[in-house]
């Protein structure tokens, strides 16, 4: 039975070719293939981990962003409220300031008017008194000449005063 008695030639060649194939592949192929497979496996693992972290960070970032937005909105509202408050305050202040100023100006005007009035009164009085004095003086001078003459003088003086005014 040929099948059950190994042929020497085939055993020999099998040994030779298997040994050659084994040495070539063991030296140049399998270690390289295994190394590449493992490297790729590691890289994929790392990639998955990285993606997971990135997603986590992204989720966190979203939450944080929302927090920031909320904070910003609050600040904005605060600022707006402050601004409104400040606006009304400024207007109020301006109003009061204007009123005060107006009052001051009016007071000053009143004072000036009063002063002017007093001055004019004084001047008037002085003039009147000087007129009176001069009239009196002339009357006294005329009195010496006659009544008619005195009356004419008075009329004349009075006319003078009238004309002067």
Partner 1 sequence: MKKVLTILSLVMLFFAASAPIAAAQEAEEGGASAINPKEIIFEHLGDGYGWEVPFSHSHRIPLPVIVRDYEGGWHLFSSSRLMHGGEYEGFKIAEGGDYNGKVVGERPDGNGGMVQYRPLDLSITKNVAALIISALVVALMAFWLVGWYKRNGMKAPRKGLGAFEVTVAYIYDGVIKPTLGAKAKKFAPYLLTVFFFILTMNLLGLIVIFPGGANLTGNLAVTLVLSIFTFLLTNLFGTKHYWKDIFWPDVPWWLKVPVPMMPVIELFGIFTKPAALTVRLFANMMGGHMIVIVLTLLIFIFTAIGGLAIGGVTTVVSMLFSVFMLLIDTLVSFIQAYVFTMLSTLFISLAQAGGEHEEAVTEAK
User: Residue 15 interacts with partner 1 (CB under 8 A)?
Assistant: yes
User: Residue 28 interacts with partner 1 (CB under 8 A)?
Assistant: yes
User: Residue 40 interacts with partner 1 (CB under 8 A)?
Assistant: yes
C-alpha distances (whole Å) from 116 to each of 77, 103, 120, 122, 127 are: 57, 19, 6, 10, 16
C-beta neighbour count of 154 within 10 angstroms: 14
Counting Cβ atoms within 10 Å, is residue 82 exposed (0-12), middle (13-18) or buried (19+)?
A: exposed
* Number of residues counted as binding partner 1 (CB under 8 A): 34
For partner 1, which is the closer residue by CB, 27 or 81? 27
Q: Provide the 8-state DSSP code for 5.
A: S
Vertex 24 angle, CA 19 and 25, to 5°: 100
User: Residue 146 interacts with partner 1 (CB under 8 A)?
Assistant: no
User: Residue 34 interacts with partner 1 (CB under 8 A)?
Assistant: yes
User: Residue 50 interacts with partner 1 (CB under 8 A)?
Assistant: no
Stretch that binds partner 1, among 29-37, 80-88, 95-103, 119-127 (CB under 8 A): 29-37
Stretch that binds partner 1, among 35-43, 74-82, 93-101, 141-149 (CB under 8 A): 35-43
Which string of x and - marks every residue 65-104 that binds partner 1 (by CB under 8 A)? ----------------------------------------
For partner 1, which is the closer residue by CB, 29 or 128? 29
Which residue is it, tokens 């990639």? 47
Task: List phi, psi (to 5°) of 94.
Answer: -60, -40
C-alpha distances (whole Å) from 56 to each of 49, 60, 100 are: 11, 6, 65
Helices (H), the chain: 8-24, 30-143, 147-164
For partner 1, which is the closer residue by CB, 41 or 146? 41
User: Residue 31 interacts with partner 1 (CB under 8 A)?
Assistant: yes
What residue ranges bind partner 1 (CB under 8 A)?
2-15, 17-18, 20-22, 24-26, 28-34, 36-37, 39-40, 43
């Amino acid at each position: 039975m040929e099948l059950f008695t190994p042929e020497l030639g085939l055993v020999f060649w099998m040994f030779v070719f298997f040994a050659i194939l084994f040495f070539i592949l063991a030296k140049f192929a399998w270690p390289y293939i295994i190394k590449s497979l493992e490297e790729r496996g590691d890289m994929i693992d790392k990639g998955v981990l990285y993606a997971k972290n990135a997603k986590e960070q992204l989720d966190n970032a979203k939450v944080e962003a929302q927090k920031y937005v909320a904070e910003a909105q609050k600040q904005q509202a605060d600022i707006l409220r402050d601004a409104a408050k400040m606006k009304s305050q400024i207007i109020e202040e301006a109003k009061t300031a204007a009123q005060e100023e107006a009052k001051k100006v009016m007071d000053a005007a009143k004072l000036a008017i009063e002063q002017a009035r007093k001055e004019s009164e004084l001047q008037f009085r002085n003039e009147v008194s000087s007129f009176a004095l001069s009239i009196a003086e002339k009357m006294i001078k005329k009195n010496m000449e006659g009544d008619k003459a005195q009356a004419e003088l008075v009329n004349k003086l009075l006319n003078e005063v009238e004309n002067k005014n």
